[in-house]
């Protein structure tokens, strides 16, 4: 059985590199969330290998993402926290 892995901050940097690596390993089903992800529709099924849009500063987006996730899968076996603070230069 594949393990469901969520990578928070999968849009860039270490989170993106980890997300891409996990997607090459057959024993994992990796999902990502970040501000740079693609929007999700609550009526669709979640796809592994996709980085979905979810702004962690917006509680409604977080709740919506996990409601969306539960339509497809019951468990998350691991969560990697790789989000940054988003302050890069002036």
Q: Are 81 and 7 in contact (CB under 8 A)?
A: no
Measure the CA–CA gap between 66 and 23, rounded to whole angstroms: 20
> Pick the residue with more confidence: 43 or 31?
31
Write out pLDDT tens, residues 48-58. Answer: 899 999 998 89
Its pTM surpasses 0.85: yes
Query: Cα(55)–Cα(34) distance, rounded to whole angstroms?
Result: 6
User: What confidence tens digit (pLDDT) does each residue in 56-87 have?
Assistant: 889 999 999 988 888 888 899 999 999 887 65
User: Residue 14 — pLDDT band, cuts 50, 70, 90?
Assistant: very high
Q: Enter the tokens of residue 78.
A: 């691991």
Q: Quick check: 42 pLDDT over 90?
A: no
């Amino acid at each position: 059985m594949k393990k469901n892995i969520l990578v928070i901050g999968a849009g860039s940097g270490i989170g993106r590199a980890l997300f891409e690596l996990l997607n090459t390993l057959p024993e994992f089903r990796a999902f990502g969330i970040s501000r740079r992800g693609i929007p999700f529709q609550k009526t669709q099924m979640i796809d592994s290998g996709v980085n979905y849009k979810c702004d962690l500063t917006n509680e409604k987006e977080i709740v919506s993402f996990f409601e969306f996730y539960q339509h497809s899968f019951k468990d998350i076996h691991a969560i990697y926290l790789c989000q940054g603070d988003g302050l890069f230069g002036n």
